[in-house]
Amino acid sequence: MPIFDSIFLSLPCPGCGSPQEIPLRTIGLAQSMHEGCPASWARECPELYWQDLIDPAALQDFIDAWNRLEASAAASGGSLTMRSGPESTVTASPPA
């Protein structure tokens, strides 16, 4: 899902306070791949830290909603497009 590469969790570094951005993809992968890791402390394994930054159920709900949006767009013959900012103004009005 390309949206995972475009959405970041932005939070201050616990050590220095500098802003850091963690891609949603990194958090999602950490939640699915950490099983079996022998680390017991987050500083031993970044994935252990990342996996708890966003509630896994909330992330799964987001994934499911995004998949439904993509399917709905495809069913209407279109596709979802992501932009990094307001590059143009689009005004939608119902057909006459």
Q: Which two tokens stand for residue 35?
A: 């099983």
pLDDT, position 89: 41
Beta strand 19-23 with 8-12 is antiparallel
Q: What pTM, to 2 d.p., does this model score?
A: 0.66
Mean pLDDT of 22-43: 76
Strand partners, 10: 21
pLDDT, position 72: 95
Angle between helices 24-33 and 56-75 (to 10 degrees): 120
Q: Is residue 42 over pLDDT 70?
A: no
pLDDT, position 86: 54
> Which has more confidence, 87 or 95?
87
Rounded CA gap, 12 and 53, in Å? 12
> Which has more confidence, 88 or 58?
58
Mean pLDDT of 34-53: 71
Mean pLDDT of 4-20: 86
